[in-house]
Structure 1
Amino acid sequence: MVDKMDHLYAVLDDLDDDLQAMQEDLEAVLLLLKDGEIKKAQTILEEMNSFLIDFLEPEEGCECDDEECECYVIEEGDGDGEEPEEKPAAKPEKPAPKKK
């Protein structure tokens, strides 16, 4: 259980670092747009978009489709000392189509 908690904290630290970097990138984009550097701003936004698409895709070994999802979410136990059960995760929502 301790290993799972350590892993969770490491993932959250990585996510925090990624979000801070994205915030800095967005601030840079705003400055570029203010200065009229539209092409440079567009390039940064495209890179951020690619990162988010890669980040939000299911991990390897996690086969999800419309019919059945092989992913599992581990829920915390109820404090009785027993290991928590693995339960099937909710089906992932399909992303909204991009607006032009």
Structure 2
Amino acid sequence: MERTLTMDCEDAINYVEENVEVYDVLELSYHRIFTPGEVLSIDTDDRKGKKSFRVMIQVAGDLVSQSVEVDLEEVKDDLVEIKHIPKNGEEATIITIERCETEVE
């Protein structure tokens, strides 16, 4: 069973920050990229004075087995969908992202 939510990019990042834990499965769709895999680490430290929310994912695949770090703050305007599958077997959550534009600096 899966539950489906719709929210803007800020709320989606907040959801990930509050609900996703190491070893959960996270599937990120942003821009034209699909990144499915197991969460290895979550880092919320500021980077160069800017807000940052980085997730390290062990990409699931038959041919490729690598880790990728995605800064959700950097790609938030391109986020399309996030699927969260908790490691403890709880219900999966699919988040559809509404368009979210930030001010250009």
After TM superposition, the score normalised by the length of structure 1 is 0.29
Task: Judging by fraction of residues, say which structure has more helix.
Answer: 1
Task: Judging by fraction of residues, say which structure has more strand.
Answer: 2
Structure showing greater radius of gyration is 1
More contact order relative to length (CA 8 Å, sep ≥ 6) = 2
After TM superposition, the score normalised by the length of structure 2 is 0.28
